[in-house]
Amino acid sequence: METKSPSLDALRIDRTQAPPRSGGRWWIWLLILLIVAAVVWWFQRPKPPEVRTATVQVRSTPAAGSGGKTLLNASGYVTTRLEATVSSKVTGKVAEILVEEGMKVEKDQILARLDASNVQASLRLAEAQLATSRTMLAETEPMLKFSEIELNRLSGLVESKSISQSERDKAEADFQTQKAKLERQRAEVTVAERQVDEWKQQLDDTIIRAPFAGVVTTKDSQPGEMISPMSAGGSFTRTGICSLVDMDSLEIEVDVGESFINRVKEGQPVIATLDAYSVWKIPCKVLAIIPTADRQKATVKVRVSFNQLDPRILPQMGVKVAFQGEENAAPAAGKMLLTVPEDVIVKIDSRDVAWVVREGKVERRAVTVADANGGEASISAGLSQGESVILNPPSALTDGMAVKVLSSP
């Protein structure tokens, strides 16, 4: 049988056919690479700096020389008409203090408490004595009623000659004794009630309350210390819990020389300037001229009231006042001063600069600072009212840079 050998043609490579395609999905890898690059750039991109801003405020001041002239200049201090060192009515040990400096309190608010253990014990004793007196009174009332009935019964028997007069007299004496005893016991009950009221008042006196609404300026005692309405025991005994000031009663006291007091009268307009805020002109008026002079200083005291109070005005601040002429009673408005916090102004190339935020981008502005005092700067040029300026601007800021404005704390 003949065996067929395999043909060599079957093993030959046919090079006329097109080779299979490899890498037909290369664009997918390119797209993935671009997406990864975009994500990396997004997370590593430079972020805009975070800043806080303040608003440019405006304040009008009387123009120099407008509406008349200043008749007299003087200096004085801010005082208060209602101020008290709050103490207790009794001597005792401080148990707790419920106030701190700067705290606002209302009238009759509890400021502190004294140790009341002894007073409470005495009150309980007085209440027990009152209960005893009322019990004895309750015992005597029926005895008096019985004595009165017995006296009436024996009086009838005397008239019928059934008993002797002496027995009737003895019954009357017993009735009068019970009656007097009842009156005495009623008086004892009244005394016991008064004693209970007295100890209740002493217990209430261990609670120290605010005599008026105001602000606590000093805290003078601590728990555990002894306090007394009068000085006793040297420095070991305090005489006050705290100092309380009514901020609604602030005014200015000025000493005016006798030679110039004729230039001052009640109701006269006054411009006051606090030493702490030298550019802030405060409208005031003369409240009263104290009708006596200090012969040692040759001065007369003048009280000046604020037309409008402000939280920046504090007791004992130094102040300068300018007494205005009558024509200054209604002065014309002076120039408008723009004010910003001092933290807004920075020095760049020896010039005062502020950074203004507009639509999320910053703009560098050269400004002219008229005055800076008390954390506030007065701007005479470079800014406009209502603009937002950056507080403590970062050194890396550049014109046109985008920023993220944080909300005020």
Per-residue pLDDT for the chain (409 aa), expressed as one digit of tens each? 445 555 555 555 555 555 555 555 677 777 778 887 777 766 665 667 777 888 888 765 554 444 457 888 889 999 998 988 888 888 888 999 998 988 999 999 999 999 988 988 999 998 999 998 888 888 888 887 877 787 777 777 767 777 777 777 787 788 788 888 888 888 888 998 999 999 999 899 889 999 999 999 888 888 988 888 776 555 567 778 898 999 988 999 999 988 888 889 898 999 999 988 888 889 999 999 999 998 888 889 999 999 988 888 899 999 999 998 865 444 444 456 788 888 878 888 778 888 888 877 888 888 888 777 667 788 878 888 888 888 888 877 778 888 777 765 4
Alpha-carbon torsion, ordered 217, 223, 224, 226, to 10 deg = 30
pLDDT at res. 231: 62
Q: Where are the domains of the chain?
A: 50-60+335-405, 70-81+248-328, 87-115+207-245, 117-203
Q: 3-class DSSP state for residue 358?
A: strand
DSSP label at 314?
Answer: -
H/E run at residue 76:
strand 70-80
The second-level CATH assignment, the architecture, of 50-60+335-405 is Beta Barrel (2.40)
**87-115+207-245 belongs to CATH 2.40.50.220:** no
**Alpha-helical runs (H) found in 160-210:** 165-205
Q: Is residue 83 within 8 Å of 250, Cβ to Cβ?
A: no
pLDDT at res. 350: 78
Alpha-carbon distance of 389 to 340, in angstroms, equals 8
What pTM did the predictor assign?
Answer: 0.54
**C-beta neighbour count of 306 within 10 angstroms:** 18
Alpha-carbon distance of 240 to 220, in angstroms, equals 6
**C-beta neighbour count of 28 within 10 angstroms:** 9
DSSP label at 233?
Answer: S
Alpha-carbon distance of 338 to 279, in angstroms, equals 11
Q: 3-class DSSP state for residue 83?
A: strand
H/E run at residue 39:
helix 26-44
- What are the φ and ψ backbone dihedral angles of 43, each rounded to 5 degrees? -80, -20
**C-beta neighbour count of 367 within 10 angstroms:** 21
Q: 3-class DSSP state for residue 248?
A: helix
> Residue 305: which of 324, 323, 286 has the closest Cα?
286
CA pseudo-torsion sign 272, 273, 277, 279: positive
Q: CATH homologous superfamily for 70-81+248-328? A: Efflux pump adaptor protein, beta barrel domain (2.40.30.170)
> Residue 251: which of 284, 280, 217 has the closest Cα?
284
**C-beta neighbour count of 125 within 10 angstroms:** 13
